Amino acid sequence: MSRTIPLTRGAFALVDDADYGWLIQWKWRLNSHGYAIRSIYADGHSIYFNMHRVILNAQPGQFVDHIDHNRLNNTRANLRFVTRQENMRYRRRHANNSTGFKGVSHLHDKWHVRIGLDGGLIQLGFFDDLLTAAQVYDAAAKRLFGEFALLNLPDHETPPAVEAHVAMVLARAGCR
């Protein structure tokens, strides 16, 4: 079962019953990035604590991810420890993305697909239609990132031809 903790600006954070009792002792607020935080003033400066990090007792250098991307859903089932790379892979598409799909851009009257891996980019190809391009990105993301893949079309089945194309391109790139 879960309960809500009031924040500033009329917002609420969702937490598990087991965490509610000790979290409610502090005044929490909504920061400009959409996270529930609290602060203390010590040694002449403010120290900030993110609720999701407090719940999992995250240490400096550890990353905590909200699985559903809702920064106010701080139930333990929605939080997980991730590496920095996993956290970056699970990010949403950039705000300036004009195609509406992660990893897809429009170039030379075609839909260009690429995916980032280990600091580099793998070119997945050029496609005539946007839907196929989005499916290609998704197939590559699933193969490369597993549960940390943020998909463009999570409810769509990937066509076998798209899967075969992605397998071939990733094999050529030296990926699994």
Q: Give residue-wise pLDDT tens across range 105-158.
A: 998 899 999 998 877 889 999 999 999 999 999 999 999 988 888 889 989 999
Total domains, the chain: 2
What's the confidence (pLDDT) of residue 96?
Answer: 55
Asked whether residue 87 is assigned to any structural domain, the reply reads no
Asked whether residue 98 is assigned to any structural domain, the reply reads yes
d(CA 98, CA 162): 23
Q: Looking at residue 168, which CATH number applies to its domain?
A: 3.30.730.10
Q: Which domain holds residue 100?
A: 94-172
Q: Give residue-wise pLDDT tens across range 38-92.
A: 999 998 999 999 999 999 999 999 999 999 889 999 999 999 998 887 776 656 5
Of the three residues 32, 49, 82, the one that is the final residue of a domain is 82
d(CA 35, CA 134): 30
Strand 120-127: give its sheet, edge to edge: 104-107, 110-117, 120-127
Per-residue three-class SS string for the chain: CEEEEECHHHCEEEEEHHHHHHHCCCCCEECCCCCEEEEEEECCEEEEEEHHHHHCCCCCCCEEEECCCCCCECCHHHEEEECHHHHHHCCCCCCCCCCCCCCEEEECCEEEEEEEECCEEEEEEEECCHHHHHHHHHHHHHHHHHHHCCCCCCCCCCCHHHHHHHHHHHHHCCCC
